[in-house]
Amino acid sequence: MRELIDTLHAWQEEGQAVGRAVVVRTFGSHEPGAGSPPPTPLVVAEDGRLDGTTGDPAVDAELIRAASDALARGTSLTVAVGDRQWFVEAFPLRPRLVVVGAVQVAIPLVRMAREVGFETVVVDGRAAFATAERFPDVDRLVVGWPDEIADTIGLGPADSVAVLSHDVKFDEPAIIEALRRGCRYVGAVGSRKTQADRRSRLLAAGISRSELARLHGPIGLDLGGRTPPETALAILAEIVAARHGGTGTPMHEHAMSQDDDDGANVDAEARQATDTGPAGESDNGQPRRGMPDAEPKPAGAARST
């Protein structure tokens, strides 16, 4: 047990959210007596690593999926896997947003990010911009070059990075460091031409095409806003969507799509009823020879429930 606790703490220090799976109930028949001691709890990291085993690879895989789901939701849950019931306890990390560039858009972005639960860090090489007066809501202000302070702030896979500085000297070293460290979200400001030129330079600097495909540029969702708070909202919306696997699609479009599917099913059932007629009747409505009249179906029976 002590080893598992050490593993849990070590993975948390790496920036990994962690889940712990504990047997709470066993199904099936058992021999009389005290029974066997309870299985050792398992620890699952956010990246899918497993410390411990049930002895069954299929059950291990199910528990990893359950723990990943619990961590994504930020809540613990109970699941039945194999012949046992497991309590999956989630230890999610507070999400962190690292903003590169103490520009005007960064001020409302930091404030909004804290409102939705992010720890916030602002990095800029210009001490005159990275001040507590301009960023009263930030958790940490760091003056320095982004690639040089990455170790200082412990930049890692659990972080989201928004590059807003509009300066190649700051932008590209920050992007390279964030992509190479596997940050969960990396976005950068810039026009389409700026993005195209930047991508060429990043490839020349050794960033792979698969790494480059993870770069969100231009950053943010298309909300049509123009002011700094509106731009910040668009950026944060994309970061939140990336964190939870959202699409950014308006909810009413999801509802309309579901309505279209339901309508198509109803139309198909109506066409089938028209083509075949009620059970026991021919197409002209007369009873078929040799077949008894069918009992009328209750209202709504044509649709599955």
Domain boundary among 197, 221, 244: 244
pLDDT value at residue 28: 47
In a domain, 256, yes or no: no
User: Quick check: is 274 in a domain?
Assistant: no
Per-residue pLDDT at 30: 47
Q: What confidence tens digit (pLDDT) does each residue in 245-294 have?
A: 888 888 888 777 666 665 556 555 655 555 555 444 444 444 444 444 44
Residues 120, 202 within the same domain: yes
Total count of domains within the chain: 2
Residue at 73 is within a domain? yes
pLDDT in tens, 103-130: 999 999 999 999 999 999 999 999 999 9
Q: CA of 238: how far to CAs of 60, 152, 268, in Å?
A: 33, 26, 38
Q: Per DSSP, what are the bridge partners of residue 80?
A: 85
Query: Does residue 205 sit in the same domain as residue 156?
Result: yes
Say whether both 110 and 133 belong to one domain.
yes
Closest CA relative to residue 76, chosen from 2, 13, 18: 18
180 part of a folded domain? yes
For residues 160 and 123, state if they share a domain: yes
Same-domain check for residues 104 and 42: no
Q: What is the pLDDT of residue 283?
A: 44
pLDDT at 37: 55
- 43 & 147 share domain: no
Which pLDDT belongs to residue 138?
97
**CA–CA distance, 158 with 113 (Å, rounded to integer):** 15
Phi, then psi, of 52 in degrees rounded to 5: 105, 170
pLDDT, position 1: 52
- Identify the CATH number of the domain in which residue 172 sits: 3.40.50.720
Model pLDDT, residue 16: 72
CB 147 within 8 A of CB 136: no
> How many alpha carbons fall within 13 Å on the CB side of residue 161?
33
Q: Give the position of tokens 């712990």.
A: 20
Residue 237 inside a domain? The answer is yes
Q: Is the pTM of this model over 0.85?
A: no
Helix (H, G, I), strand (E, B) or coil at 266: helix
Q: What is the rounded CA–CA span in Å between residue 202 and residue 186? A: 14
Q: Kindly give the parts of the chain with pLDDT less than 50.
A: 26-30, 278-305
160 and 60 in a single domain? The answer is no
Amino acid at 46: E
3-class DSSP state of 122: strand
Domain residues for the domain of 67 are 13-27+37-91
Considering only CA atoms, which of 98, 103, 97 is closest in space to residue 190?
Answer: 103
Instruction: Please tell me whether residues 61 and 121 are part of one structural domain.
Output: no
Residue 2 lies in a domain: no
Residue 182 domain flag: yes
Q: Beta partners for 261? A: none
Q: Is residue 143 part of a domain?
A: yes
